[in-house]
Amino acid sequence: MPNFVKMKKELLYEGKAKRIWSTDDHSLVIQEFKDDATAFNGLKKDQIKNKGVLNTGISSAIFEYLIAHGIPTHFVKALSENEMLVKRVEIIKVEVVIRNIAAGSLVKKFGFAEGEELKFPLVEYYLKSDELGDPLFSLEHILTLELATKDEMEKIHSLALKINELMQKFWFDRGIDLVDFKLEFGRAANGEIILADEISPDTCRLWDLHTGEKMDKDRFRFDMGKVEEAYAEISRRVKIHN
């Protein structure tokens, strides 16, 4: 495969945590991870040292694990410390959140006790819109807004639950409880629904299985300190078992 790092061309998109670059192959893009960190829909901003490098390694390992277990993803290969080559997809503007243990908005808005184990995984949909604050919405909203078809959402729901099952085992084997996490999906060139974006401490709530210590972006959100150390520990545990 050609060296696509040297073939990075046009900046297609820059988000809060990543940049997307075109390559000479229209079907492939480069996903570059930044050290920038945001919370509360961009109201809180800073940088976390080495976050881009750590999240690239963590996400790459997770995508490889999921692909090995039959999950279709956009991941092709890691290119550098903070870049990966991925398939170009049309992102579906539905953020899918899977919850296994009560935390965050589930506690604040619905009265669950933090740390309460849910009877079954809860799948939620959020409109991917910074301008509107990423509101929680329903399948009917998604269909009315024509963001995806009913068949596509059935596929997304099924994939999300399968990914959750795989990720719970992945993290448990590394001494971590997967509390909840966010997924994004896209349409590949052939129309197939595939997993995109990233899976990292930026997009997951990860608690140490034995101490309950938070090892994710909540440390940044709530000024808990030792953010880089938590990300580095997650990276270390991922690498040990790979």
Residue 3, classified by CB atoms within 10 Å of its CB into exposed (0-12), middle (13-18) or buried (19+), is exposed
What's the mean per-residue pLDDT of the chain? 94
Encode pLDDT of 115-156 as tens digits. Answer: 999 999 999 999 999 899 999 999 999 999 999 999 999 999
Q: Where are the domains of the chain?
A: 4-87, 90-226
Encode pLDDT of 172-200 as tens digits. Answer: 999 999 999 999 999 999 999 999 999 99
Q: Full-prediction pTM beyond 0.85?
A: yes
Encode pLDDT of 60-118 as tens digits. Answer: 999 999 999 999 999 999 999 999 999 999 999 999 999 999 999 999 999 999 999 99
Q: Under a CB-based contact definition with an 8 Å cutoff, are residues 125 and 139 in contact? A: yes
* Integer Cα distance of 197 and 200 in angstroms: 10
- Given a cut of 60, is residue 241 above it in pLDDT? yes
- Given a cut of 70, is residue 3 above it in pLDDT? no
Q: Under a CB-based contact definition with an 8 Å cutoff, are residues 179 and 100 in contact? A: yes
User: What pLDDT band is residue 4 in, cutting at 50, 70 and 90?
Assistant: very low
CATH of span 4-87: 3.30.200.20
Q: Which top CATH class is 90-226?
A: alpha beta
Q: Which residue type sits at 143?
A: L
- Given a cut of 70, is residue 1 above it in pLDDT? no
User: What pLDDT band is residue 38 in, cutting at 50, 70 and 90?
Assistant: confident
Percentage with pLDDT > 70 across the chain: 95
SS3 percent helix, strand, coil of the chain, rounded to 5, is 30, 35, 35
pLDDT at 242: 61
